[in-house]
Structures are given as structure tokens and as C-alpha cells.
Amino acid sequence: MGRWALDVAFVWKAVLTLGLVLLYYCFSIGITFYNKWLTKSFHFPLFMTMLHLAVIFLFSALSRALVQCSSHRARVVLSWADYLRRVAPTALATALDVGLSNWSFLYVTVSLYTMTKSSAVLFILIFSLIFKLEELRAALVLVVLLIAGGLFMFTYKSTQFNMEGFALVLGASFIGGIRWTLTQMLLQKAELGLQNPIDTMFHLQPLMFLGLFPLFAIFEGLHLSTSEKIFRFQDTGLLLRVLGSLFLGGILAFGLGFSEFLLVSRTSSLTLSIAGIFKEVCTLLLAAHLLGDQISLLNWLGFALCLSGISLHVALKALHSRGDGGPKALKGLGSSPDLELLLRSSQREEGDNEEEEYFVAQGQQ
């Protein structure tokens, strides 16, 4: 009877993990292809991003209200001093990362975007070394060389290479390195009380919106105000379809952050990291099959080299965590900037109960 119960528990956990991984894949891969699809007909990616931020803020505010009503515990609200001094740098870096990423879809294929964004781990490691969140080791140097070499091979003589789009997405990856480093430094401050991902999203979105607005006003404001798809619309039906499509992206972005939190909270950050690696493979295969992205043998070899570097980084993190006797505050990202969750800490309460705290920093797109 005991063995049978253990088998049932194992099967149930495996099915639950698979379901959560598939849910994460649906939102993560879905929002990538959604962004590419929408920017083909709607050429205002910064406005699209700002509307997504507004939707995420509304959903996070609603979620906070529901949790507060059910638990009868007030949610954390930062003072203006802490908000502007500690949250603003992270929000600005996150806004630029997401905005430039979406902007790049006007010029690059999904495959080039996926590969280049994977290189964000390279910049995260570099900034972690600069801010002394990581110690310089030979293994980390090997990770950097593998990812950088893989990126070079993937873009070398690519028939669908676009320099402007590549510069945008590479700039987003560079800023993503700053973003995640700042996020880690922010969320390690336990006194702020932002370990819950809903609270983090709630506080980040307004400053992200304001940080992205100047870029929108300069590059898209005039064109959007004179476009028939938005401010000079003549067809109400077309306007509603455009707004509905934009609103859908906001739902996908919120769902991505929440699905990542569910996956990590029910399994582990290592599971999310490994799932993220296979997600990149699935994204490239779908881009080649559905969108006709041209990927040469050299490009595939470069992608494999980059994934080997990311996998090595994940393995090092797993060994480091196990060597410390269990999950602790991680010093870096697991595998990819799309892995919007990091394991914050693990604390024991009254001997038997463990409460794992996680945080999300809106790297959803």
C-alpha cells in the first residue's frame, strides 16, 4: 500500500510538472510569435509595449486586491523615497530591455531574435562579475566563450541577417544584463517586501511606462497620432480589432510571469532553467517550420554551442546550490532572460515547514 501511494504521488508530480511546463511554453513561445505577428501589420512596437505594461499593471493590481480580500493581510506599498531610489533604476532598465526587444521584431526573424536574446546570459555574467555577485572562475570564462562563439556562428553569413534589428536586440540583451543584476540587488533587500511576483509587477509597471514614454514620443508619437489605425481611425471595427490584439499581448505577458512563478513554486528554479533551454529549441524549430526562417548548418552549430554554454551555466548553478546544502539566494540567472523568475530564498519554519520565496522582474517579452 505504501509503495503504491508513492508511485501515485510520483506520477501525479510528474504530470503536474509537465502541465506547468507546457503552460509556460504556451505563454513564452506564444508571446514571441505574437510580437512578430503583430509588428508585421502594426508598426508601433513601443506603443504596443506601453499598452502591455498598462494591462499587466491592471491585472497585478486586481490580483493584489483579491489576495488581500482573501487573506485579510495588507499588501506591501513602498514609500516614495524607496520607490524612486531603489525601484526606478530596475524599472528603467527593464523598460528599455522589453521595449528594444519588441522594437527589433520590425527587422529580425524570430530565430535571430531567440538566439541573440539567449546571449543575455553573457552580459548577466559580466555585470555579475563587475558588481561582485559572482566570483571569477575558469568555468564562467568557458561559459562566456561558448555563448559568444555560438552567437558569432549563428549570425555569420546569415541570409536573413539585419544589422539594425540585430543591434536593437543585442542592445536589449546588454541592458538585460544590467536589468537582471539590478533586479537581484533590489530583491535581495528583504526589508522592501517585494518577494511576491505580483507585488513586484505592480510596483515596476508604472515606472516602466514612464521610462519608455520619451522613446515612444520621439520615435512613434507623431506617426501614431496620424495613423488611421489609432488616432485618425475611420473604421471603428478596425480600431477595436487593433486594441483587442494589443490587449491580448498584455494578457500573454502577465500569464508568462505568472506561469513561471507557478512552475518554480511547484518544482524548482532548476526545472525552469532546463525547460527554458528546451523552449529555445522549440522556438527555433517552430520559426523554421511556420515562418520559413532560413537556418543553415553553421547557424544550427552556433545555436548548439550557445546552448551548451547556457547548459553549463545551469549545471554550475545546480552544483553550487547543492554544495551549499540546498536552495539559497541565487547569484545569477538560470539560463535565459525569458526566465523571469529567480529563486529568492528558502526558509524553514517550525522545523517541518519550508517557505520558498520567489521574485519576478518582468522579463516577459
How high does pLDDT run on average in the chain? 77
Instruction: Show Cβ contacts of residue 173 under 8 Å, excluding neighbours closer than 6 positions.
Output: 116, 117, 119, 120, 122, 123, 337
Place 327 in a pLDDT band, splitting at 50, 70 and 90.
very low
pLDDT tens digits, 180-195 = 777 777 766 766 776 6
Percent of the chain past pLDDT 90, that is, above it, reads: 17
- Higher-confidence residue of 128 and 362: namely 128
Grid cell locating 262: 507557478
Decide if pLDDT at 97 tops 70.
Answer: yes
Instruction: Show Cβ contacts of residue 16 under 8 Å, excluding neighbours closer than 6 positions.
Output: 266
Q: Are 117 and 169 in contact (CB under 8 A)?
A: yes
pLDDT tens digits, 257-296 = 788 767 766 766 556 667 777 888 888 888 888 888 887 8
Decide if pLDDT at 243 tops 80.
Answer: yes
- What pLDDT was estimated at residue 157? 62
Grid cell locating 123: 552580459
- What pLDDT was estimated at residue 340? 36
Place 179 in a pLDDT band, splitting at 50, 70 and 90.
confident
Grid cell locating 313: 551555466
Q: Are 257 and 201 in contact (CB under 8 A)?
A: yes
Place 358 in a pLDDT band, splitting at 50, 70 and 90.
very low
Q: Which residues pair with 345 in a beta bridge?
A: 357
- What pLDDT was estimated at residue 294? 82
Decide if pLDDT at 219 tops 80.
Answer: yes
Read off the pLDDT of each residue in 199-227 and give the average, rounded to a whole number.
Answer: 89
Q: Which range among 231-245, 259-273, 282-296, 327-341 shows the weakest confidence by mean pLDDT?
A: 327-341
pLDDT tens digits, 124-149 = 777 777 877 677 778 878 887 888 88
Q: Taking the domains of the chain in order of start, what are their residue ranges?
A: 59-321
- What pLDDT was estimated at residue 207? 92
Decide if pLDDT at 12 tops 60.
Answer: yes
- What pLDDT was estimated at residue 47? 93
pTM check: above 0.85: no
- Which residues in the chain belong to E strands, given as ranges? 341-349, 353-360
- What pLDDT was estimated at residue 355? 33
- What pLDDT was estimated at residue 48? 92
- What pLDDT was estimated at residue 130? 80
- What pLDDT was estimated at residue 268? 62
Grid cell locating 250: 498584455
Q: Are 249 and 364 in contact (CB under 8 A)?
A: no
Percent of the chain past pLDDT 70, that is, above it, reads: 78
- What pLDDT was estimated at residue 273? 67
pLDDT tens digits, 49-85 = 999 999 999 999 998 899 888 888 888 888 888 888 8
Query: Rounded CA gap, 334 and 339, in Å?
Result: 7
